[in-house]
Amino acid sequence: MDDEPPYDIAVNKVCGGAPDCEQQLADAVRAALKHHQVPKAQISVALVSDGQIAELNERHLGHEGPSDVITFDLRDDPSQPIDGEIVVSVDTARREGDQRGHGTEVELSLYAVHGVLHLIGYDDREETDAARMHDKEDEILSSLGIGPAFRSERK
């Protein structure tokens, strides 16, 4: 398709043995970029264990223990096209997906979209910002036919 934005998306590993998982993650990243009309991007998604992401979390963020997703913005200047790496824990996705009542692949897609939103400039440190971000994640995943993946406890 000639009207497709120039997105370079790589997923580093087959996830959980599901045959379409890599494509689903690439599609989720692409959907988040297109939703925000990002003109150009280069993004890699690394699927790792809890142990591996805990090591990255400690080394780069000074936090102990595993995280669901860590995003690295590789740009020298925020005005440059998006260039980033999204690291997601398959172990955490498996646990959280089970807890939320959907599969690991859906949870991994949620994490991939979450990472893209961080690269675009979303922040989730404050409760209202996190709620806005989670609503956007669910909107993007629903547009792909996956449906809402983040079920908050908000009333």
Domain boundaries, the chain: 7-143
**pLDDT given for residue 139 in this prediction:** 94
What's the CATH architecture for 7-143? 3-Layer(aba) Sandwich (3.40)
Question: What's the rounded Cα separation, in Å, for the pair 94 and 114?
Answer: 16
Instruction: Return the C-alpha torsion angle 20, 34, 29, 109, nearest 10.
Output: -70
Distances (CA, A) of 136 to 28, 42, 76, 86: 12, 21, 27, 18
Which pTM value belongs to this model? Answer: 0.89
**Residue-level pLDDT, tens digit, the chain, 155 residues:** 446 668 888 888 656 555 577 888 999 999 999 999 999 999 999 999 999 999 999 999 989 999 999 999 999 998 899 999 999 999 999 999 999 888 888 999 999 999 999 999 999 999 999 999 999 999 999 999 988 887 643 32
**pLDDT given for residue 74 in this prediction:** 95
- Strands (E) across the chain are located at 7-11, 41-48, 69-73, 82-89
Q: How far is CA 48 from the centre of its chain?
A: 13
For β-strands 82-89 and 69-73, DSSP reports them as antiparallel
Amino acid identity, residue 81? Answer: P
**pLDDT given for residue 3 in this prediction:** 62
CA atoms within 13 A on the CB side of 52: 12
**pLDDT given for residue 152 in this prediction:** 40
67: left (phi over 0), alpha (psi -120 to 50) or beta: beta
Task: Look at residues 97, 92, 99 and name the one whose alpha carbon lies nearest to residue 141.
Answer: 97
**pLDDT given for residue 13 in this prediction:** 67
